[in-house]
């Protein structure tokens, strides 16, 4: 049901939250985004795009 586009949006949203809110942003991402992201069977799209700073 979720494809790569959705995974990219979720990964970007999580990264944006991290930039905007640091640890607080990460907490929001972990609560709101992570449960959805885990349903997407695609590896970190930011790693794939060379943008990832988390892995």
Nearer Cβ to Zn ion, position 21 or 43?
A: 43
Integer angstrom CA distances of residue 54 from 1, 15, 50? 26, 9, 11
Cβ 36 to Zn ion, closest distance in Å?
A: 17
Cβ contacts of 38-41, under 8 Å, gap ≥ 24: 39/1, 39/2, 40/2, 40/6, 40/7, 40/10
Could you say whether residue 34 binds Zn ion (CB under 5 A)?
no
47 binds Zn ion (CB under 5 A): yes
Beta carbon of residue 41, minimum distance to Zn ion (angstroms, whole number): 15
Binding residues for Zn ion, per CB under 5 A? 44, 46-47, 52, 55
């Amino acid at each position: 049901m979720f494809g790569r586009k959705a995974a990219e949006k979720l990964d970007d949203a999580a990264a944006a939250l991290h930039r905007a809110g640091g640890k607080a942003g990460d907490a929001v991402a972990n609560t709101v985004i992570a449960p959805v992201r885990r349903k997407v069977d695609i590896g970190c799209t930011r790693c794939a795009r060379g943008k990832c700073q988390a892995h």
